Amino acid sequence: MGVAGCGKPLTDALREGWLDAIGRRIAGSVGDGQGVVAACSALKRSYRERLRGFCQDIVFLYLEIDPATAKQRVGSRRGHFMPASLVDSQFATLEAPAADENALTLDATRPIADIVGDVVGLFEANS
């Protein structure tokens, strides 16, 4: 996604194609009887609704984090497409999931290994 944006925040129109591609892949895998995990920044409710249009049973994991920690983590990545300078635009766009959106909120300020362990545990418990 960052390549298309050339270091600038993507517009809703630019995101539509990406969201549709992700939604189609999710739907195809679910249709084949596979479990699916997809990662993307579905920052707005409208983005999550677009994905839900492909798979009604989708569950979102909302990784709740403060801007300072997010900037530090993004800034420490090497060779990543998204520069830390775009973190503020991500938070400006963010609409946290509402109670009716079938989303689980996780504290993303914790160590990444702990977050991954929690997510794996959630999926194993629901399998």
The pLDDT confidence band at residue 125, using thresholds 50, 70 and 90, is confident
Q: What is the pLDDT of residue 15?
A: 87
Sequence-distant (6+) residues with CB within 8 A of 118 are 106
- Cβ atoms of 40 and 22 within 8 Å: the answer is yes
- Cβ atoms of 48 and 101 within 8 Å: the answer is yes
Domain 2-125 has CATH 3.40.50.300: yes
Q: What is the pLDDT of residue 84?
A: 61
Q: What is the pLDDT of residue 1?
A: 38
First to last CA, the chain: 31
The Cα 22–Cα 64 span in angstroms is 22
6 sits in the region (left: phi over 0; alpha: psi -120 to 50; else beta) called left
Q: What is the pLDDT of residue 68?
A: 92
Check residues 98 and 71 and name the one with the higher pLDDT. Answer: 98
pLDDT tens-digit series, residues 9-66:
678 888 899 999 999 999 999 999 998 889 888 999 999 999 999 999 999 999 999 9
pLDDT tens-digit series, residues 109-123:
999 899 999 988 987
Q: What is the pLDDT of residue 117?
A: 93
Smallest Cα–Cα separation from 48: which of 4, 7, 88, 104? 104
Quote the pTM value.
0.81
